[in-house]
A and B are shown apart, each in its own frame.
Chain A
Amino acid sequence: MGDIFDFMENEFDKININLVELAYKLFTRVKDSDFEYIYRGGFSQNISKKLISLAETNVKKSAGRTALKNKIYFVMVEGLQNITKHEDDKNDEKGSGMFAIQKQKDKFYITTGNVITKENEKTLKPKLDQINILERDQLNKLKKEVLVGGELSDKGGAGLGLIEMARKSGKKLVYDFTDLNEKASFFYFRTEIQGERSLYQESAPSIGKAESIEDVKELHQRLDEENILINFNGKFNRENILSILGVIKGQMSVSSTSKKVYNIMVEMLQNISKHTNNHEETIKNRGIFFLSKKGDRFILTSGNYINAEDIEILKGKINDINAMSDSELYDQYNNILLDITASDKKTGLGLIDIRIKSNNKIVYYFKEIDNNFAFFAMQASVKIKE
């Protein structure tokens, strides 16, 4: 896939290309008003709260009916709690959990992933299978039995949560256990929720779609390989940006590096928002952002469509900024501060700030889509200070 990109910067390395290719691939597979948010890492209460508000903001816009929103909310909270419950099962660095919410046409998919001991796998699998063979009325009966019988252990017992998720979804629970080592597996758990269109249709229990969980598994493995902490693929408005920033705040311990990463993120996210929010509901009003950690660096990658006529201007701007020495950068920063005629939006202060804070060149890529639009990806990296 490498040859389709027009690399205009000489100073790039393998990692950068991988990430930009991934950004393009992920960006273009999500259509129209759909979205895809994936988070990998630790799950504190704070992070869960922010992930829920991130999902809520977007579900609110896409899912009209309250009943539907409540369903999605329930499945999300339940899933996040399952991850936290099993946090202590993790036994090595592969232990980070994952949470994904995706909207594809009129369907929502919520996937959680976490490390689970082989012992817990042995008790969980039959429960899932038991729930999956039951019809709706049988599920209701089982729910009552569990409620009355109180067969709940601290780790979920007969799985009231699982029963409820199956009831809310109306679909088979899709799951997968991937071997990590002799003691642990990675447990993927995917719930499908039918959106608006066929809300009133009798939801016939369909056979769990193996391909859908394969798809999210593959995606997660790519994120694992690149050590991507958060992948946000959708609309970048104020609410979304604040929720993403909140997730990152919860994820990173406070340091001079995390401050830089946070500040650069703000500029990159608002940059996407600036370029995309005046477009109609298509891929053109969305963007992609991910934050990854490789070796001693955080890498921030963003991508979105821009007007083809802006390419040359933007290229010139970034090239100029990249060529500046430190003192030239500061001079330019001051010039913009002192320039009262500089409009709010196109000062270029954001790019200069990214360059100063990252202490690194800004790497960028353009790929022409048609006569009017191009995919523009930008990357900054921050060296982690000891």
Chain B
Amino acid sequence: MRPLILEATEDTPLIYFHPEEGKFLIEKSSLPENAVEYYAPVINWLKEYHSTPNAITTFDFSLEYLNTASSKQIFEVIMMINKISEVSDVTIRWHYDAIDEDMMGLGKRFSHLVNAKFEFIEYENNDDFEI
């Protein structure tokens, strides 16, 4: 299956779904006002992947900032991943900045709403807000 790669912009994340490499990443910030439109192709890609999945699929979410419009769509993505977990051995690794209790909390809430396996990974950010 062809990979889905969407480069990050100032307000949309990097999406890197590559079954051959076994990499499934969502990184950086997601702040678009029209999140439904942005995530539609991502969800469609996952639907397709559901019919030809790898034996093992590990999703890495490593998000810095999320607006609520994106939270809802990220949850749609997770619901789709939850479906994939019925046909593939799925792990969702939720990476969060050590100081970002809200991002950790959001991941925990997501994990309670689905059956897919979640792992929580804390990282130290020395970024100091430089862009």
Any A CB within 8 A of the CB of B128: yes
Docked pose: A157 CA to B128 CA in angstroms: 36
Q: Which B-chain residue is minimally distant from A258 (CB atoms)?
A: B129
Instruction: Verify B65–A266 contact, CB threshold 8 A.
Output: yes
Residues 83-121 (chain B) with a chain A CB within 8 angstroms: 97, 99-103, 109, 113
Question: Which residues from A are CB-within-8-Å of B48?
Answer: none
Instruction: Verify B69–A263 contact, CB threshold 8 A.
Output: no
Instruction: Verify A252–B35 contact, CB threshold 8 A.
Output: no
Known: A242-B11, A333-B109, A349-B68. A254 touches B99 (CB 8 A): yes
Docked pose: A347 CA to B68 CA in angstroms: 10
Instruction: Verify B109–A263 contact, CB threshold 8 A.
Output: no
Tell me the total A-B contact number using a CB cutoff of 8 A.
Answer: 78
B71 CB, min distance to chain A CBs, angstroms: 7
B93 CB, min distance to chain A CBs, angstroms: 20
Any B CB within 8 A of the CB of A60: no
Question: Which residues from A are CB-within-8-Å of B99?
Answer: 254-256, 259
Docked pose: A66 CA to B123 CA in angstroms: 46
Instruction: Verify A249–B131 contact, CB threshold 8 A.
Output: yes
Known: A254-B99, A334-B113. A266 touches B131 (CB 8 A): no
Known: A246-B131, A256-B99. A267 touches B68 (CB 8 A): yes
Docked pose: A249 CA to B128 CA in angstroms: 9
Docked pose: A330 CA to B71 CA in angstroms: 14
A367 CB, min distance to chain B CBs, angstroms: 26
Question: Which residues from B are CB-within-8-Å of A353?
Answer: 68, 71
Q: Give per-residue flags for A10-38: 1 if the beta carbon is below 8 A from chain B beta carbons, else 0.
A: 00000000000000000000000000000
Any B CB within 8 A of the CB of A250: yes
Known: A238-B11, A337-B113. A270 touches B69 (CB 8 A): yes
Residues 235-285 (chain A) with a chain B CB within 8 angstroms: 238, 242, 245-246, 249-250, 252-256, 258-260, 262-263, 266-267, 270, 273-274
Docked pose: A253 CA to B127 CA in angstroms: 10
B40 CB, min distance to chain A CBs, angstroms: 11
Instruction: Verify B109–A330 contact, CB threshold 8 A.
Output: yes
Docked pose: A336 CA to B131 CA in angstroms: 32
Question: Which residues from B are CB-within-8-Å of A273?
Answer: 33
Instruction: Verify A347–B100 contact, CB threshold 8 A.
Output: no
Instruction: Verify A266–B109 contact, CB threshold 8 A.
Output: no
Any A CB within 8 A of the CB of B75: yes
Q: Which B-chain residue is minimally distant from A354 (CB atoms)?
A: B68
> Which residues of B pack against A, CB within 8 Å?
10-11, 31, 33-36, 65-69, 71-72, 75, 97, 99-103, 109, 113, 125, 127-131
Give 10 CB contacts A-B under 8 Å: A242-B10, A263-B67, A270-B33, A270-B69, A274-B33, A334-B113, A338-B113, A344-B34, A344-B69, A349-B71
> Which residues of A pack against B, CB within 8 Å?
46, 238, 242, 245-246, 249-250, 252-256, 258-260, 262-263, 266-267, 270, 273-274, 330, 333-334, 336-338, 342, 344, 347, 349-350, 352-353, 356-357
